Chains A and B, each alone.
Chain A
Amino acid sequence: MSSSDLTSERDLVPQATPKGDLAPERDGPRDTGLDDATLHRWLERTWRTKPGIIGALSSVDHKVVARRYLVTAFVFLCLGGLNAVAMRIQLSGPQRGLIGPDLYNQLFTMHGVTMMFLFAVPIVQATGIYLVPLMVGTRNIAFPRLNAFSYWIYVSGGIFAWASFALSMAPDVGWFAYVPLSGPEFGPGKRADVWAQMITYTEVSSLAVAVATIVTVFKQRAPGMSLDKIPLYVWAMLVTSFVVVFAMPAVMITSTFLILDRLVGTHIFNPAEGGDALLFQHLFWFFGHPEVYIIFLPATGMVSSIISAFARRPVFGHLGLVLSLIAVGFLSFGLWVHHMFATGLPKLGASFFTASSMLIAIPNGLQIFCWLATLSDGRPVIRTPLLFVFGFVFTFVIGGLTGVMVASVPLDLQVHDTYFVVAHFHYVLIGGSVFPLLGAAYFWLPKLTGRMMSERLGRWHFWMAFIGFNAAFFPMHLVGLWGMPRRVYTYPAELGWGNINLFITAGAAVFFLSFVLFTFNMLHGALRGAPAGNNPWDAGTLEWATTSPPPSYNFARIPVVTHAEPLWAEREALPVATGLRVDARELVISTVAEARPDIREKSATPSIWPLFAAIAVGATFLYSIFTPWAVVWGALPIAITLIGWFWPKGDPEDEE
């Protein structure tokens, strides 16, 4: 990109020196007028991740952190997938004795916990950590140290959960761990505590990412990227982050209440002393339902990006899609009770939640219609990412429609807690989120690795995943209607569920193998693939403006956005803004609505302290399943690490 110096230094930083006392000699060299090679040398020196193990552990580069997140989440996906395969083998025939109930209960709990908290939420957030700063044209995510901290907390939570599985003390109470089964009387040992605390780890981490994402989107957008020019994916991440901020505290409270009941002997869920077991379900699902949308909304953003690139046009109904994202975000908090229709709620109250659950289908329907309208304009370029989007529409619409079925109170009474529901939410979560994620992998991994993945293997992968998935999960609808409850480790032969379960297991095996192929394709593509170039798909958003993989500073000069699809509108060269210091980590902070450049702001430098803080926090969480005093003793190391983290650097700004 060539620098056509549209915006002068003064334009970019009109209020940078409000008091006028920032002496020029205390200011550093700016990027104005530097030639590209010099600029690169300066910026690389300023922004790079330092070499060596300490440097790697101190990195606050959003791309480095996101890569770690993605790899870790993929590892957890594989582990959760192996859990599923083990369960499917046990269920492949009636009365199989491969896995006993104790292990089976741990397996399905770990499967759910891993997929929800260690795979789905982290991977959509990680994709956001990587892409949002690039898409909004900034150099790093907001609060980069918090972002690094969130990764360390996440990975320690994951290790905590899986170490407990290795020690045969993994939670065995299901991923929503209803009391009293997970409560003090019926959940002996530390298994349910492991569930409760691993939730705390992952929720702290996703809250941190959500805050960073919101601030990045609101304050760090490239000059000119007013609200109407924000890419749909970024909108989706913004709404998701708000949903995280409002939903996650509910589950942290739930799990904390549970720990208190178990460890301290409170009576929050004890009906004999005035507590209530149903309170747990209300609290949990107040988080649990938005959780589904936390996983799904980013996927809609990915779908919009992919469709726009391959349909060769902006997505139809941009405003409608943004509004429907926001509507879904709000409505997702109003329908948690549809998970509790079988608990004997007052009938009129339950009917209200039928109506609200139906209501959310309207904005979701609008999204589907807008995508279909986009795709109907000319022949789309059919590549692997788009195939996965087709797979997404095919499966997610089924999941959405079965969602309408389970939203109906009377109908839900027959299918609730059966394999019908298992089928439904796998259609929603795999169809609605994993397929878009796979499409996104084919779409954006060339940006991460600089190399293309094989199109031929990609198509094989798609068809295997698509056929395997449908073969594994579609029959579950039926076996659920035939009366098979979920979470059973075996079933009697007389009920005639044997054949169909064998078929399901075969489908699951194909689905699993498709991921083996995907792993191979990823590794092969990253090492041997054809070079991708900056913009292999000729897409329109800013992340394609920089090199693949992007340099540590993302953009040599901050782009100025004139159109919602800047790369399509400015084919010759992207206008850029200059005036940022090159010897310090400076970002442009812009106004929330208009994205007028407002101020230059320092971005945090690398630091090892987020790692130490995560260790201190993680150790406190771990210890607190053994004694409540952990909170007291843990406060000390946490305070020390936070002091290290926020120690003043002696910058003039800090002293003001």
Chain B
Amino acid sequence: MFAAFGTTCVLLLQGCSGWQSALDPKGPAASELAWLIWFFTGLCALIWLLVMIALAAPLAMRSRTRSDPLVLDPGAEHRKARAVWAALGATTVILVGLTLLSFFANRTLAAIGSDAELTIRVTGHQWWWEVRYENAQPSRILTTANEIHIPSGEPVRIIVTSTDVIHSFWVPSLAGKLDLIPGHENVLDLMADKPGVYRGQCAEFCGQQHANMSTLIIAEPRPVFDAWLNDQLRSAAAPVSAEASAGAELFLNRACVMCHKIGGTVAGGTVAPDLTHIASRQTLAAGTLTMSRGNLAAWIADPQGIKPGAHMPVVDLNGDELNAIVAYLEGLK
């Protein structure tokens, strides 16, 4: 038992610095929540300890086993009754306190995003995230996938919904989770205190690849963010090498074009992630693989081996064709 607790304590210390951990808050909402978690945990641990003492104390005392079960000492019964009433009263007070505490914490959380400038619409798909940066000017609306860049130090409003099943958007180090429900629109306000990369993951079971549906929140200083946004609004880069040109040709004439979009080309599919700037992302397939030439090739060659059940089919390509397509996509910075 103590071994178990000891080990978990050691593991606890090592786990605090995770980039997807509720105990390692990087934003005001998560900080509020982490404080709340620690407070509840401390209080609960104390209560638990008191209960354990109350359980163990009579065993430690060298009293005798009762002989006649029905002979009760009225004085002792009275004392017990008082103790039980007192404990019950304390329980009630503590619970009322905790209720109020969580009520006010909820209000604090609600106040975070009241003056958000940036609105991002996140739509859940099996098993990736569609990310749309809203703008009053239609030409400034950006649609991308799986990675969400936000300006650090300012609140961002995220509107979440889904077109297929229920997903849940959860970036533990920034905020609590919120479900993406078809037919509903939910609003989550979050803010990253400092620039950094924060990992999030779908938290509502959504089918075969629920485990591989993650996202990255990339918080950057406002100027960097603006530059990124402008960069992303551009059409895709034209292929530079002969191999890449062959890849672009193949992309448009093979199965890829049926689902994916590459801005500036005829590829206009909207049912799969937008690939206009795929090479500028850090991961592939909703966080399943890190972005590299090898992983890109592996993913295209055998998506069903890497992410079984995902909607990306195995496309019949020979080695040269595969290399050409990878060369083209690699250039889409």
Contacts and interface: CB of A to CB of B under 8 A. Distances in A.
Query: Do the two chains bind?
Result: yes
Interface of A: 100-102, 105, 173-174, 178, 180-181, 185-186, 271-272, 276-278, 308, 311-314, 316-317, 320, 342-344, 347, 350-351, 354-355, 358-359, 361-362, 365-366, 368-370, 372-373, 375-382, 390, 393-394, 397-398, 401-402, 404-405, 408-418, 466-467, 470-471, 474-475, 478-479, 481-483, 485-492, 495-496, 499-500, 503, 507, 540, 563, 565, 568-569
Given A358-B95, A362-B88, A483-B172, A503 B11 contact: yes
B176 to A, nearest CB: 3
A365 B1 contact: no
Given A362-B91, A368-B51, A379-B59, A470 B178 contact: no
B84 A373 contact: yes
Contacts of B98: 358, 404, 408
Contacts, number: 293
A381 B95 CA distance: 34
A470 B1 contact: yes
B109 A174 contact: no
A347 B188 CA distance: 12
Contacts of A361: 91, 95
Contact of B87 (A343, A355, A365, A413): A365
Contacts of A180: 164-166, 182
Contacts of B52: 394, 397
Contacts of A311: 66
A389 to B, nearest CB: 10
B332 interface: no
Given A181-B205, A316-B80, A483-B20, A372 B55 contact: yes
A507 B8 CA distance: 12
A101 B209 contact: yes
Contacts of A496: 14-15, 18
A490 B63 CA distance: 53
User: Chain B interface: which size bin?
Assistant: 35 or more
A413 B37 CA distance: 11
Interface in B191-246: 199, 201-212
Contacts of B18: 482-483, 495-496
Nearest to A472: B4
Interface stretch (B40-48, B134-142, B267-275, B318-326): B40-48
A313 B84 contact: no
Given A409-B102, A475-B11, A485 B170 contact: yes
B117 interface: no
Contact of B110 (A347, A362, A414, A474): A347
Given A180-B182, A411-B33, A487 B55 contact: no
B36 A408 contact: yes
A61 to B, nearest CB: 31
B207 to A, nearest CB: 6
Contacts of B308: 100-102
B292 interface: no
Nearest to B16: A482
A413 B81 CA distance: 38
Which has the most chain B C-beta neighbours within 10 Å: A272, A361, A362, A411?
A411
A540 B95 contact: no
Interface string B1-43: 1011101100110110011111100000010110011001100
A336 to B, nearest CB: 16
B6 to A, nearest CB: 11
Contact of B22 (A342, A372, A482): A482
A362 B66 contact: no
Nearest to B91: A365
Nearest to B169: A342
17 contacts: A102-B208, A105-B207, A186-B165, A186-B207, A271-B184, A342-B203, A343-B186, A344-B178, A380-B59, A401-B44, A402-B44, A404-B44, A410-B105, A416-B203, A467-B4, A483-B20, A483-B170
Contact of B55 (A393, A467, A475, A483): A393
A410 B182 contact: no
Nearest to A274: B183
A343 B36 CA distance: 21
A351 B103 contact: yes
A563 B202 CA distance: 58
A272 B183 contact: yes
Contacts of A308: 69
A409 B106 contact: yes
A404 B41 CA distance: 10
Given A405-B44, A478-B8, A482-B22, A101 B164 contact: no
Nearest to B167: A181
Contacts of A378: 58, 63-66
Contact of A495 (B20, B177, B210): B20
Contacts of B63: 378-379
B95 A359 contact: yes
A288 to B, nearest CB: 15
Contacts of B87: 365, 369
B309 A101 contact: yes
A413 B175 CA distance: 8
A312 B68 CA distance: 7
B99 interface: yes
Question: 7 nearest interchain CB pairs?
Answer: A413-B176, A271-B183, A344-B186, A408-B102, A483-B20, A488-B211, A401-B44
Given A312-B67, A373-B83, A404-B40, 4 more contacts: A272-B183, A342-B204, A495-B20, A563-B70
A76 B67 CA distance: 42
B253 interface: no
A417 to B, nearest CB: 4
B76 interface: yes
